[in-house]
Amino acid sequence: MKFTTLLKPSMSMLEALSVSVTGIIIVMIILALLAVMVVILSKAIRAVENKAKNKTKSTEKVVETELPEKKAPNGSPLPETQSVGSLDLYKTDEKTAAVIMAIVSEESGIPLNRLQFNSIKLIEE
Amino acid sequence: MSIINALISLFQESGFAYLAWQNWVMIIVSFALLYLAIVKKFEPLLLLPIAFGMLLVNVYPEIMYDPLAIATPGGQVIDASAHWYDSGVLRLIYCGVKSSIFPCLIFMGVGAMTDFGPLLANPSSLLLGAAAQLGIYVAFLIAIATGYVPGFEGFTPLEAAAIAIIGGADGPTAIYLTGKLAPHLLGPIAVAAYSYMALIPLIQPPIMKALTTKKEREIKMEQLRTVSKAEKIIFPIVVTVICVLIIPSTAPLIGMLMLGNLFKESGVTDRLSDTAQNALCNIVTIMLGVTVGATAEGKTFLDVKTILVIIIGLIAFSFSTAGGVLFAKLMNIITKGKVNPLIGSAGVSAVPMAARVSQVEGRKYNPSNFLLMHAMGPNVAGVIGSAVAAGFLLSTFGKLL
C-alpha cells in the first residue's frame, strides 16, 4: 500500500479500511514475534539455570562425601517425621490445615519438621 | 458615585462579565468530574488534576494564554514582540505535553511499576494484548466515515488517527499521539481516554457477559510458573530492540517503558526505580493532569467534534474489550478449555483496572477462581500493544507534519 496516498485532508473508506487492516495485522505480528522470542529466551535461560543448578548440586554432593560425619550442635537433630509444638485450629478442619502447612512448606522450601505453626484461622469475608 | 463606579469597574473586570456560556457549562462539567474523582474515587490521581485544570481555565482562560499563538492558518503571528515567558502559567507547563516529555516520563514510571512476570509465564497473553487493540482501528474507520455525513466536514486522517488511539485505553499513549498528530484535539481526547479508563468497571462487564457463556466464565486456569530474575531482566531489552527496529517511531514510548522496567528488574538501580515510580511519576502526573484539563476551555471545547470524539471513544473502548474477549474465546477453543475468556478484556491496557475487572467478574461466577495474575499478562501486553499501534499510526500519518 502506498501511504503517500493517505497524506490528504480526506480519505476514502477503502483507504481507511486498508490502514485499519494493516495496522491490526502489524500489531499482531509484532506481539506474536515477541511471544515467540519470550518462549525461546525462557527456554534458553531455564536450560542454563538448570545446568548451573545441577552443577552446584553435584559439587555439594562431593563436599558432603568428603566431610567427616556431621555432628549436631545441640544434641541429635529432629527425625524427618517428628514435629514439635501444638496447633490451634479455628473453624478449620484438620485436612485443610494439613494442606495449608504442606503448601507453606513447599513454597518456603523449609521442611515441615523445621516449621512451627501456632494457629490456623478461617477469615470470613 | 466613585464607589459605584469602582464596583461597576470591578464587575466589568471580573469573570462574571467576560466568561461565555460555554465556560459556565465546562465549570459544571469540571464539578461533575471532581465529584467522580473525590466521592466515587474514579481514577482520582488523574481525574482530580484534570478536573481542576478544566475548572481553572474556565474561570480564568488567561491561564492558558499563548502570546505566540498563530492567528491564521497561514501562520501569521499575532504579536511579533511577544515572548514565551508572557504566556499563562499553565501554558508554560503545557510545553511538557506538547513536546511529549510528560507522556514519555509517565511511561517510564509505568514501566518501573510493572511486573512483566505473568506475561513471561504465559507469553500467549501477548496475543490478547494485540487483539484488544481492535477498537483503535474500528474507531479510525468510524472517524473517517463521519466525513460522509451530509453537512459535517468530518475528521482529517490525522484527527481520525488521534481519536482512534482512545481505543488503546492508555492515557499517556493517547496524549503522546494526539500531541503529535492533532494537538487541537488534545483536550477532548485526553478527557475521553481518562474518563473511560475510570469507567472501565462499568463499561466492560456487560460486554464480557454478552460475549461469553456461563461455563466459559467459570473456567479455572492453571497456576502460572515462576519466572526467573534473568528472564525479567532480559525481557525489556529484547522488547526494545525488536519493537524499535521494526517500528522506529515506537522508540520514545517503548524505550521509556522498558527503561523504567529495567530500573526495577535489574536490582542495581533501586533509587532510580523508586524515583521513577513514585516522586517523578507523581510530579509529572500533576503537571500533565492539570494542563491537559486546562486544554478544555469552553469556547473551543464545546462543539460537535468534541461530542463525536467522546462517542467514538466509547465505541473504541467497547470494541477493544470485545476484541480481547473474542480472541480469548478462540484461545480457549484451541487449548481445549484452558483459557477463561474473561481475561481477554484485560488486553485493553488500562493497568491494573482492566485486570481487576476480570478478577471480579471471574469470582462472581466461580468464587474459587483467581484470574488476577492470568489477567495481568494481557493487561501489560496491552501497554506494549497500544504503544506499537500508536507507533504504526505515527509512522503512517506523521509524514503530514
Least CB–CB distance from A27: residue in B120, B124, B385: B385
Least CB–CB distance from B231: residue in A9, A13, A41: A41
Tens-digit pLDDT profile for residues B235-282: 999 999 999 999 999 999 999 999 999 999 999 999 999 999 999 999
Following CA atoms A26, A27, A30, A35 in sequence, which dihedral angle do they give, to the nearest 10 degrees? -140
Sign of CA dihedral B150, B151, B156, B159: negative
Least CB–CB distance from B396: residue in A17, A19, A34: A19
Cell of B75: 501562520
The answer to the question of residue B259 being in a domain is yes
User: Residue A86 pLDDT > 80, yes or no?
Assistant: no
Q: Indicate the residue type of B254.
A: I
List beta partners, residue A120.
A89
**Three-class DSSP category at B15:** helix
Q: Is A34's CB within 8 Å of B243's CB?
A: yes
Q: Is A102 on the interface with B (CB under 8 A)?
A: no
CA-nearest residue to A43 within chain B is B231
Q: Is A103 on the interface with B (CB under 8 A)?
A: no
Average pLDDT over residues A66-74: 51
Q: Is B231's CB within 8 Å of A45's CB?
A: yes
Calpha distance B387→B31 (Å, rounded): 32
Using a CB-CB cut-off of 8 Å, the residues of chain B touching A96 are none
Q: Is A4's CB within 8 Å of B129's CB?
A: no
Residue A60 — pLDDT band, cuts 50, 70, 90?
Answer: low
Residues of the domain holding B310? 96-400
Using a CB-CB cut-off of 8 Å, the residues of chain B touching A45 are 228, 230-231, 234
Buried b / exposed e over B298-325, threshold 16 CB at 10 Å, is beebbeebbebbbebbbbbbbbbbbbbb
Tens-digit pLDDT profile for residues B289-312: 999 899 889 988 888 899 999 999
User: What's the mean per-residue pLDDT of chain B?
Assistant: 90
Closest CA–CA distance from residue B393 to any residue of chain A (Å): 8
* Global ipTM: 0.85
Residue B139 — pLDDT band, cuts 50, 70, 90?
Answer: very high
The answer to the question of residue B66 being in a domain is no
The answer to the question of residue B242 being in a domain is yes
**Three-class DSSP category at B123:** coil
Q: Is A49 on the interface with B (CB under 8 A)?
A: yes
The answer to the question of residue B341 being in a domain is yes
Q: Is B137's CB within 8 Å of A20's CB?
A: yes
Residue A23 — pLDDT band, cuts 50, 70, 90?
Answer: very high
Going by C-alpha positions, the residue among B239, B196, B164, B207 that lies closest to residue B325 is B207
Q: Where are the domains of chain A?
A: 12-66, 88-121
Least CB–CB distance from A34: residue in B227, B228, B239: B239
Q: Is B144's CB within 8 Å of A28's CB?
A: no
The answer to the question of residue B295 being in a domain is yes
The answer to the question of residue B279 being in a domain is yes
Whether residue B167 contacts residue B344, with contact meaning beta carbons closer than 8 Å, is answered with: no
Tens-digit pLDDT profile for residues B356-391: 999 999 999 988 888 999 999 999 999 999 999 999
